[in-house]
């Protein structure tokens, strides 16, 4: 049979008291939707056993039930017994889960933790690499209908890998997908609606895709098919947006650059005006960043550009602070001061004030300087969704373009495909 209609059940009193926000619904709903499931409802209930009522109300309309939470060792944690009751089976010890937990906590397993190794009879345990509670999955017969039921622990760092590694492939199979391998990519600066459109255009052979917002990027998952097919689709996407906006794996714009610097054993510095330190902050997000990052200057005032970076008064007078000439002088001034292998600069109009017809808000100039290399500058005009957005995009652009410059690629060609950022 095919399972089409899903219900999600999130258990946790800290959620219904508003102490923390639910992290699972969007992830689960997004992935299930991609697989062709219709999510009928998502229900959050406290740890008080009311999950029993809610579940029994849902079985009528759902043929897939996913529960998170309520698998802990305390008496509030009732998910196991509620599912066993619904399935009309006993709770039995899963020996593998027991052995695994025993090897970790020894004799302390007796007592509360022991129940964390129990699952409804006939169910299959799902190993939890990051916690003590095993998950489980199985089928329940109700009124002649077969319902799939999956229970996972609540903490995202336990739930997420269990879902991706075990549950998602299992569900893909149930939903009629032969294969459920997937590849992950990181996309930068592409608006969500645009990414969706690009995926539709590049899709073929029934490949599915999913996206997930992260801080300065959107993660893209291509699902199903062969690795070759997924790579082909990814290459089509990369071609349509030009290089550097879509990278393989789960990476940040900063790490693309700093990994390259680390590999080369080279150092960098940066001069920032409108971003005022944001790019430097990103370059030092990782531990060990002193290997590549020398330092930077936030040259906000024109005088700061002159005294700390040796930008000429003439450039400021004729071309202005937001100009390619100023960007180049900033990058060169920074590198001559720091003696790093590479330096870049950012100077632009973050808004909301300060724009003009010639240089509207969102206009940002970037300069690049390298040992024994001709300096380069480019200007990017970003659509402005507010000051914070322009600054975040500008820092990301600088990191991506710096990596291109180090690679010896044409920056103008690169940005020519970025009209929509």
Residues numbered 259-298 forming contacts with a copy of itself, rule: CB under 8 A: 269, 272, 274-281, 283-290, 293-298
CB nearer to a copy of itself: pick between 16 and 81: 16
Residue 121 C-beta: closest distance to a copy of itself, Å: 29
Residue 286 C-beta: closest distance to a copy of itself, Å: 8
Q: Taking CB under 8 A as the rule, does residue 11 contact a copy of itself? A: no
Distance set, CA 80 to CA 42, 89, 130, 132, 356 (Å): 19, 11, 19, 14, 63
User: How many binding residues for a copy of itself (CB under 8 A)?
Assistant: 72
| DSSP letter (8 states) at residue 167 | I
d(CA 121, CA 32): 26
According to CB under 8 A, which residues from 95 to 124 bind a copy of itself? none
| Backbone phi and psi for residue 191, each to the nearest 5 degrees, phi listed first | -60, 150
CA-based R_g, the chain, Å: 27
Structure tokens at 303: 């005088």
- Among 89, 304, 310, 409, interactor with a copy of itself by CB under 8 A: 304
Binding mask 364-403 for a copy of itself (x = CB under 8 A): -----------------------xx--x------------
Distance set, CA 243 to CA 163, 238, 368, 374, 411 (Å): 31, 6, 18, 22, 11
Identify the sign of the CA torsion 396, 400, 402, 405.
Answer: negative
The DSSP code sequence of 310-362 is ---HHHHHHT-SSSHHHHHHHHHHHHHHH--SEEEEEEE--SSSS--SSS-TT
Structure tokens at 5: 């209609």
Residue 43 C-beta: closest distance to a copy of itself, Å: 5
- Among 95, 307, 313, 356, interactor with a copy of itself by CB under 8 A: 307
Q: Taking CB under 8 A as the rule, does residue 45 contact a copy of itself? A: yes
- Choices 17-25, 82-90, 201-209, 407-415; region in contact with a copy of itself by CB under 8 A: 17-25
Q: Taking CB under 8 A as the rule, does residue 171 contact a copy of itself? A: no
Q: Taking CB under 8 A as the rule, does residue 227 contact a copy of itself? A: no
CB nearer to a copy of itself: pick between 16 and 179: 16
CB nearer to a copy of itself: pick between 205 and 339: 339
- Among 4, 36, 49, 54, interactor with a copy of itself by CB under 8 A: 54
d(CA 17, CA 210): 31
3-state DSSP call for residue 252? coil
CB nearer to a copy of itself: pick between 8 and 134: 8
Q: Taking CB under 8 A as the rule, does residue 63 contact a copy of itself? A: no
């Amino acid at each position: 049979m095919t399972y089409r209609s899903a219900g999600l059940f999130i258990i946790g009193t800290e959620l219904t008291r508003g102490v923390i926000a639910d992290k699972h619904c969007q992830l689960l709903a997004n992935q299930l939707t991609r697989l062709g499931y219709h999510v009928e409802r998502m229900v959050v209930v406290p740890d008080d056993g009311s999950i029993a009522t809610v579940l029994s109300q849902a079985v009528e309309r759902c043929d897939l039930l996913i529960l998170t939470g309520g698998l802990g060792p305390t008496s509030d944690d009732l998910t196991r017994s509620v599912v066993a009751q619904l399935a009309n089976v006993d709770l039995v010890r899963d020996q593998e889960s027991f052995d695994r937990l025993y090897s970790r906590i020894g004799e302390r397993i007796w007592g509360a933790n022991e129940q964390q190794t129990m699952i409804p009879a006939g169910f299959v345990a799902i190993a939890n690499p990051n916690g003590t509670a095993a998950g489980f999955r199985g089928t329940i017969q109700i009124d002649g209908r077969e319902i799939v039921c999956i229970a996972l622990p609540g903490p995202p760092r336990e739930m997420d890998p269990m879902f991706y590694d075990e549950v998602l492939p299992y569900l893909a199979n149930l939903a009629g997908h032969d294969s459920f391998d997937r590849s992950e990519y990181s996309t930068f600066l592409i608006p969500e609606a645009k990414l969706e459109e690009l995926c539709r255009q590049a899709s073929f052979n029934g490949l599915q895709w999913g996206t997930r917002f992260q801080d300065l990027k959107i993660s893209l998952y291509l699902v199903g098919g062969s690795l070759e097919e997924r790579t082909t689709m990814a290459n089509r996407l990369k071609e349509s947006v030009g290089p550097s906006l879509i990278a393989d794996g789960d990476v940040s714009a900063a790490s693309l650059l700093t990994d390259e610097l680390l590999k080369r054993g080279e150092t960098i510095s940066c001069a920032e005006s409108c971003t005022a330190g944001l790019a430097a902050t990103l370059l030092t997000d990782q531990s060990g960043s002193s290997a590549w990052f020398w330092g930077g200057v936030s040259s906000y005032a024109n005088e700061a550009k002159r005294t700390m970076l040796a930008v000429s008064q003439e450039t400021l007078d004729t071309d202005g602070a937001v100009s390619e000439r100023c960007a180049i002088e900033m990058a060169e001034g920074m590198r001559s001061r720091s003696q790093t292998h590479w330096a870049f600069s950012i100077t632009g109009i973050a808004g909301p004030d300060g724009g003009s017809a010639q240089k509207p808000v969102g206009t940002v100039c970037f300069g690049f300087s390298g040992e024994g290399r001709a300096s380069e500058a480019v200007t990017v005009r970003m659509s402005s969704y507010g000051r914070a957005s322009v600054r975040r995009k500008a820092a990301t652009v600088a990191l991506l373009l710096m990596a291109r410059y180090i690679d010896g690629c044409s920056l103008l060609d690169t940005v020519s495909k970025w009209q929509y950022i």
